[in-house]
Amino acid sequence: MAAASLSHLSFLSNPSPRSLIVPSLRLTSPSRKGRVGGSRFRCSAGQTGFFTRLGRLLKEKAKSDVEKVFSGFSKTRDNLAVIDELLLYWNLAETDRVLDELEEALLVSDFGPRITIKIVESLRDDILSGKLKSGSEIKDALKKNVLELLKGKGSKTELQLGFRKPAVIMIVGVNGGGKTTSLGKLAFRLKNEGAKILMAAGDTFRAAASDQLEIWAERCGCEIVVAEKDNAKASSVLSQAVKKGKEGGFDIVLCDTSGRLHTNYSLMEELIACKKAVKKVMPGAPNEILQVLDGTTGLNMLPQAREFNDVVGITGLILTKLDGSARGGCVVSVVDELGIPVKFVGVGEGLEDLQPFDPEAFVDAIFS
């Protein structure tokens, strides 16, 4: 490490997160008991194609974890089960009634007015033109319409991490959406696939945020850069973390940020400062700016996403708490309205319940 650039970072092994006292910034290393078990491959910083292989493994993992996604969307699926009943004895004479009730089922599941009308009118046209002649054909066409929308407007569901290390991912969002927890679960998943992860505790506003992220670092077996002073600037913490990421041979730097209301413009401006600080250290970074959205809020998440996107340019979404909501249609709505891909979905409380988003698995899960 270059002493001049990181003189105020300390290296500690086997830390106790609540007993460390180091001035300004500190870097903690995980104890052995916190390390994640054997990964599926190892790749040093000098090897090429690392992020390509990492993306492929995450995609494969998403397809292999279909059962988690299926169970996670059970409430939405129950809401949409009425569609099967409607189509079971469908006949042409009842087309208008059936489509009206199908429209209502989609709206209740938070598909949103625009996308719901678009889907229903497409089905109506195909029915009246004779393309769809049975209930099963209508169901298949419904699933196809939703899948095409997700793939068309939100096609880049894999993490786009570039070709240089470290890749930098910023996590942003409002308070209470599950931002820090999502970062911890993402670190766990990436670490399990062989990536060397450095966390950056950039939430310098909330007192307990650093402690919470340190606990996640210990659980995941990752190192973390934390501000010791209460008045430290988030941009400074992230800047130093990326410097450490470059010098320490890390693959990915995961940057937490302070939760903020999208209407608080001074705090939103701080995000711009964080983005600039990261880019100054690592040209082209951050590679991803992922916004965490609370799935239980349904369509109310759209104004948040628009504001954050206007300020910092969101590259992907993490939708959390979908297992506790019957509003899974909001996944489709947010992609349709914003054209921003969903990268991960939270479908449970467990460490592995932050799942890479797979459009086919999602459509099968809600319309099974």
**CATH match for 73-151 among 1.20.120.140, 1.10.3450.40, 3.40.1280.10, 3.30.300.10:** 1.20.120.140
Q: Band of the pLDDT at 229, cuts 50, 70, 90?
A: confident
What mean pLDDT value characterizes the chain?
Answer: 82
Is pLDDT of 258 > 70? yes
pLDDT digits (tens, 9 = 90+) for 348-364: 888 888 888 889 988 99
Classified as helix, coil or strand, 288 is strand
Note the pLDDT of residue 323: 79
The pair of three-digit structure tokens given for residue 119, joined into one six-digit string: 């889907």
Q: Contact 289/170 with Cβ under 8 angstroms?
A: yes
Residue identified by tokens 């916004």 is 291
Note the pLDDT of residue 29: 61
Lowest mean pLDDT, pick from 1-5, 196-200, 282-286: 1-5
Residue among 228, 254, 214 at smallest CA distance from 25: 228
Classified as helix, coil or strand, 69 is helix
The pairing of strands 11-12 and 25-28 is parallel
Highest mean pLDDT among 138-147, 253-262, 317-326: 138-147
CATH topology of domain 61-71+159-367: Rossmann fold (3.40.50)
Mean pLDDT of 250-265: 82
Classified as helix, coil or strand, 328 is coil
Percentage of the chain beyond pLDDT 70 is: 82
Q: Where are the chain's structural domains?
A: 61-71+159-367, 73-151
Q: CB burial class (10 A; 0-12, 13-18, 19+) of residue 334?
A: buried
The pairing of strands 223-227 and 25-28 is antiparallel
Strand ranges across the sheet with 316-320: 11-12, 25-28, 223-227, 197-201, 252-255, 167-173, 288-294, 316-320, 342-346, 354-356
Q: Contact 69/347 with Cβ under 8 angstroms?
A: yes
Residue identified by tokens 């429209």 is 103
State the pTM of this model.
Answer: 0.82
In this predicted model, which residue has the larger pLDDT, 207 or 17?
Answer: 207
Helix 95-108, helix 113-128: angle, nearest 10? 160
Q: CB burial class (10 A; 0-12, 13-18, 19+) of residue 100?
A: exposed
Peptide bond into 286 cis (omega under 30): yes
